[in-house]
């Protein structure tokens, strides 16, 4: 395994992070615990979850992924071996069952942290993330900002103050954002700088061969402001595994079980995947190896969040950390990106 230090912290994390959104819906608790055991054995020390997980979000499975991780901590006593990240969900996603007030304020942040700590069976969270903006922005399946009416009022400073209070209490250690825009990330950074408040360490956004929109704006912010990307959906819901290029139906694949994630299943996404698969074969790689190694190669990526539904997938994903991208491979990837740019927003 390879490791790095999360920006603006003293936390050493594995360059591959275990994502847990399948825990409790596609994976049983015993299967999830087997994944956690295997990941730790292979050197992964970074686990990401969220209060809303598993996904797709349902009232029946709200918080279950955190509970499964907490039970694993209780069973194995390995909490101190893990860098633990979780997230608070906000408005704009129709998750009213989580709490009465979905805005980010002192009451809701404190409440959500307490609930997560209880489910995770821990006293602290290493990285606490705002799962998406309160304002209507950066919706899934959308490449650029579209003006929409909302009643959001500027509260970046206040949110940072509330998070600072939680840090002072020892309940969270560091902060991050997720599904954020360049403007939103810069506002958090500027308000933190201006008022001597906590600095955002990471941003967790989608990034894959089929969605490189992060490179437009956000990659420069991360480079110049020392913020690390936690890249999620690097396999584009399994489309970049290559299994959909075989002609088989794969009825239990996430993209078929949950058709609401159709952004990864467009004709352009399938065509781009086919072309990337041809590059992989040319250089003696699988499409999975090409896809994850490309993400791991990027200097602005602190850790790549991988998810799997079985140990075979997990092993293949972890093994990609040893692959080196050559300039020739990267050049051919750029040719496809120029031909079919960002087909899965």
Query: CA 62, 66, 67 angle in degrees (round to 5)?
Result: 90
CA dihedral 294, 181, 274, 311 (to 10 degrees): 60
Residue 80 CB neighbour total at 10 angstroms: 7
Q: Is the CB of residue 237 less than 8 Å from the CB of residue 255?
A: yes
Containing structural domain, residue 177: 3-240+301-323
**Looking at the domain assignment, is residue 328 inside a domain?**
no
pLDDT of residue 252: 64
Where does the pLDDT of residue 142 fall: very low under 50, low under 70, confident under 90, or very high at 90 and above?
confident
Q: For residue 106, give the 3-state DSSP assignment.
A: helix
Residue 185 to residue 210: CA distance in whole angstroms: 23
Quick one: pLDDT band at residue 248, thresholds 50, 70, 90? low
The answer to whether residue 125 is domain-embedded is yes
Query: For the whole model, what pTM was predicted?
Result: 0.95
pLDDT in the model for residue 92: 72
276 as an active site residue: the answer is no
Residue 176, classed as helix, strand or coil, is strand
Whether 310 is in a domain gets the answer yes
Question: In the chain, which ranges are continuous DSSP H helix?
Answer: 29-41, 64-76, 106-120, 156-168, 182-195, 218-225, 254-257, 267-282, 287-297, 311-319, 327-339
Q: Given the residues 3, 53, 207, 264, select the one marked as catalytic.
A: 53
Number of domains in the chain: 1
For residue 231, is it within any domain? yes
- Distance (Å, whole) CA 142 – CA 81: 38
| 336 belongs to a structural domain | no
CA–CA distance, 163 with 160 (Å, rounded to integer): 5
Mean pLDDT of 59-63: 94
Residue 278 lies in a domain: no
Q: DSSP secondary-structure letter at 326?
A: -
Q: What percent of the chain has pLDDT over 90?
A: 83
Number of Cβ within a 10 Å radius of residue 338: 8
Q: Report how far apart, in Å, the C-alpha atoms of 33 and of each of 27, 75, 162, 252 are.
A: 10, 10, 33, 21
Range scoring the smallest mean pLDDT among 140-144, 174-178, 222-226: 140-144
Average pLDDT over residues 112-122: 98
- Has residue 330 been placed in a domain? no
Render 289-316 in DSSP notation, one character per residue.
Answer: HHHHHHHHH-TTEEEEEE--SSHHHHHH
Mean pLDDT of 142-169: 91
Contact 181, 147 (CB under 8 A): no
- Min mean pLDDT across 9-23, 142-156, 223-237, 299-313 is at 142-156
What mean pLDDT, rounded, does the chain reach?
Answer: 93
DSSP letter at 17 equals E
CATH number at residue 112: 3.20.20.100
**Cα–Cα distances in angstroms (integers) from residue 73 to residues 3, 47, 82, in the given order:** 22, 12, 9
Residue 104 sits at φ, ψ, to 5 deg, of -95, 105
Residue 85 host element (H or E): strand 83-88
Tokens 């086919």, located at residue:
274
pLDDT band at 340 (very low <50, low <70, confident <90, very high): very high
What 3-state DSSP class applies to 139? coil
List all residues 6 or more positions away from 345 whose beta carbon is below 8 Å from its beta carbon: 140, 141, 142, 143, 211, 213, 263
* C-alpha dist (Å) from residue 138 to 19, 144, 208, 235: 21, 7, 17, 20
- Of residues 225 and 251, which shows the higher confidence score? 225
The b-or-e profile of 25-48 (16+ CB within 10 A means b, else e) is: bbbeeebbbbbbebbbebebbbbb
Q: Check residue 342 and give its pLDDT.
A: 95
Identify the DSSP state of 261: G
Question: Is 306 in contact with 318 (CB distance < 8 Å)?
Answer: yes
Instruction: Flag whether 331 is in a domain.
Output: no
What's the confidence (pLDDT) of residue 9? 96
Mean pLDDT is lowest, of 38-42, 100-104, 165-169, for 100-104
């Amino acid at each position: 395994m390879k490791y790095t230090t999360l920006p603006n912290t003293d936390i050493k994390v594995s360059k591959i992070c275990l994502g847990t959104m399948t825990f409790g819906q596609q994976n049983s608790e015993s299967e999830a615990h087997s994944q956690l055991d295997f990941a730790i054995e292979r050197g992964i020390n970074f686990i990401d979850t969220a209060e809303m997980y598993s996904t797709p979000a349902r009232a029946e499975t709200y918080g279950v992924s955190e509970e499964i991780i907490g039970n694993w901590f209780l069973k194995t006593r390995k909490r101190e071996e893990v860098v633990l990240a979780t997230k608070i969900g906000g408005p704009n996603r129709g998750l009213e069952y989580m709490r009465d007030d979905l805005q980010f304020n002192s009451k809701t942040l404190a409440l959500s942290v307490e609930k997560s700590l209880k489910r995770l069976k821990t006293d602290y969270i290493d990285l606490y993330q705002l799962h998406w903006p309160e304002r209507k922005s950066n919706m899934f399946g959308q490449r650029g900002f579209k003006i929409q009416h909302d009643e959001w009022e500027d509260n970046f400073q206040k949110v940072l103050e509330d998070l600072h209070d939680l840090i002072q209490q020892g309940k969270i250690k560091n902060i991050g954002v997720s599904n954020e825009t360049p403007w939103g990330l810069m506002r958090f950074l500027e308000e933190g700088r201006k008022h001597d408040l906590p600095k955002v360490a990471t941003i967790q956004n989608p990034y894959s061969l089929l969605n490189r929109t992060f490179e437009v704006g956000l990659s420069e912010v991360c480079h110049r402001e020392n913020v690390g990307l936690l890249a999620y959906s690097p396999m584009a819901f399994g489309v970049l595994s290559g299994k959909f290029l075989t002609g088989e139906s794969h009825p239990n694949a996430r993209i078929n079980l949950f058709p609401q994630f159709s952004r990864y299943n467009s004709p352009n996404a399938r065509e781009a995947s086919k072309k990337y698969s041809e590059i992989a074969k040319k250089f003696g790689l699988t499409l999975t190896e090409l896809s994850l190694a490309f993400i791991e190669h990027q200097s602005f990526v602190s850790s790549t969040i991988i998810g799997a539904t079985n140990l075979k997938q997990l092993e293949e994903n972890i093994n990609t950390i040893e692959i080196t991208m050559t300039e020739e491979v990267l050049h051919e990837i750029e040719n496809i990106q120029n031909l079919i740019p960002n087909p899965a927003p």
